[in-house]
Structures are given as C-alpha cells and as structure tokens.
Amino acid sequence: MPNAQNPPEKMRFQLTLRRRGISDQAVLRAMDEIPREVFVEAADRADAYRDSALPIACGQTISQPFVVAYMTEQLHPQKQHRVLEIGTGSGYQAAILSRLCGQVLTIERYRTLADSARARLERLGCDNVEVMLGDGFDVPASAGRFDRIIVTAAMERIPESFTQLLEPGGILIAPVGPPHGVQTLVRVVRTDAGLVHKELVDVRFVPALPGIAREL
C-alpha cells in the first residue's frame, strides 16, 4: 500500500494503476517509490502523476505510467534477472526495473537523454543500472545475453538479433507496428520448443530509429 504520508496525487496515481488492472505488489511498490517528477521536464512537474505520456528533450516522450507498470508486470521481473532496455528516454522505466531486477543495461541513441538519465539514476541511487549511448539495433556482443528485454520504441517487426539475445526461458516485450500510428505490445517467450508470441494491448510509442543520433 502507498504510505499514508503520500500526497493526494500519489495516492490517486496508485489507485489509477490498480483500477486499470495492475495487481503485482512489487510493481506497485516500485511505482510508488520512484518519483516520476524527477524524470519529467521542469514545466511538467505538476502533471508528473497524471496517467499520460509527457514530452522530454530531443522530441521524445516519457511513457504513460500505466504502460510502464503494465510492461513491467508482463516481464515478470525477478531479483536475479539481467535486463536490457532499448530506449532509455528519461530513465524512468529503467528506474522502475532497477527496483525489481538484479542488473539493468539501458541503451539510448541521444547523448543528451543518456547523460541526463544517467545523472538522475545516480542521484536516486539506482546503482544497478548502466546507461549506454548506442544503437539498440546493434547491441555489442560483449553485453552477453539477457533474462528480460524491454523495447520502449516502436518497431515494424522484432529483429531476430533481439530474440537471440534472450536466455532460455527469457521474455521480450516490444511495441510492434507502424512508426507513427498504433502499435501492439508483443510478448515473446523463448521456450524449449521455440519462440512463443502473444499480442497484449494497443500502445503508441515514438519510433525506434537506427544509429546513434547525430544531433545531441
């Protein structure tokens, strides 16, 4: 339960997540403990606990809290997991994951976003998160394999190179669909019998683009 000293907007935030179907207590706790106001632009602080996506630097967005909670819940994160996030953005999703997993590697193609996310995560003491400036379509082989992969930018299809990064039993979640329309959240589980796909809910994410951004 959110603690009694929480301001009303944080109580409402928890209620909205529960009402929309989030029931995993560890996920709700992480959403309660990580201050979203730290991850939004200064001008949007008053709206930090509304259930909506908000603009951040470089024309990108911090995802809607429900979508962050839902994707996290669907990943079934555990303390021993190594997790890869593609699309650091503000660093908010990575901060939530840092509470629930052993280690998080998050990759962002904009230097400005990677640097500010790294600074926020350090300030919050999320010391099991590594923020890497890079192209999520080209994860260095030295990064190894992951128990969980979360893609937070839209792609038309899930490249085989992503599912190859999954450990046996691993789960990947990604928004799949047209870059500027509605995508479907797809969950892929790597089982002994092969990859099992499941379509979850409709979402809207900014597109995944190849390469490190040339602008800052």
**Min separation Cβ 155 and ligand SAH, Å:** 8
Element (H, E) at 54: strand 54-55
Q: Which listed range, 12-20, 70-78, 187-195, 202-210, lies at the site for ligand SAH (CB under 6 A)?
A: 202-210
* CA torsion angle 110 113 119 124 (round to 10): -130
Asked if residues 77 and 69 have their Cβ atoms less than 8 Å apart, the reply is: no
Q: Binding to ligand SAH by residue 206, rule CB under 6 A?
A: yes
Site string for ligand SAH, 152-191 (x = CB under 6 A): xx--------------------------------------
Q: Both ends of the chain: CA-CA distance in Å?
A: 40
Asked whether the CA dihedral 149, 167, 121, 23 is positive or negative, the reply is positive
Q: Binding to ligand SAH by residue 92, rule CB under 6 A?
A: yes
Near ligand SAH in 47-86, by CB under 6 A: 60-63, 86
Q: How far apart are CA 153 and CA 50, in angstroms?
A: 21
Q: Which of 90, 98, 116, 163 forms a contact with ligand SAH (CB under 6 A)?
A: 90
Q: How far apart are CA 167 and CA 81, in angstroms?
A: 10
- Whichever of 6 and 137 has its CB closer to ligand SAH, that residue is 137
Using CB under 6 A as the criterion, which residues of the chain lie in contact with ligand SAH when the complex forms? 60-63, 86-87, 89-90, 92-93, 107-110, 113, 135-137, 152-153, 206, 208-210
